[in-house]
Structure 1
Amino acid sequence: MMATIDKLNRELGKGTVQMGLPCKGSAWSLRSERRTPRYTTQWNELLIVK
């Protein structure tokens, strides 16, 4: 599959075929400033309620 994608990009221009990436500026682009804190992704970052 990668060989086919590389060949298409060589023939049709760099970035013509990509792997499931959103276009820059699209509604689906990652907006880092809106991410929530990762409270539950690390055990040592869990809140302790006393």
Structure 2
Amino acid sequence: MATLYKLNKEHGKNTVRLGMPRKENAWELRCAHRSPRYTTKWDELPVVRIE
């Protein structure tokens, strides 16, 4: 935490933060449509095909 405080003091408030998503992130909308079981139910996992 001391390092985080020092970096923010040197480079400006909220330059470095803990790993928490921001509300304005574009990916937030995509993850909202994801199934709650996306890692446990095989038929809900995305399929990637290379042709």
TM range (shorter): 0.3 to 0.5
**TM-score normalized by the length of structure 2:** 0.47
Larger Rg over CA atoms = 1
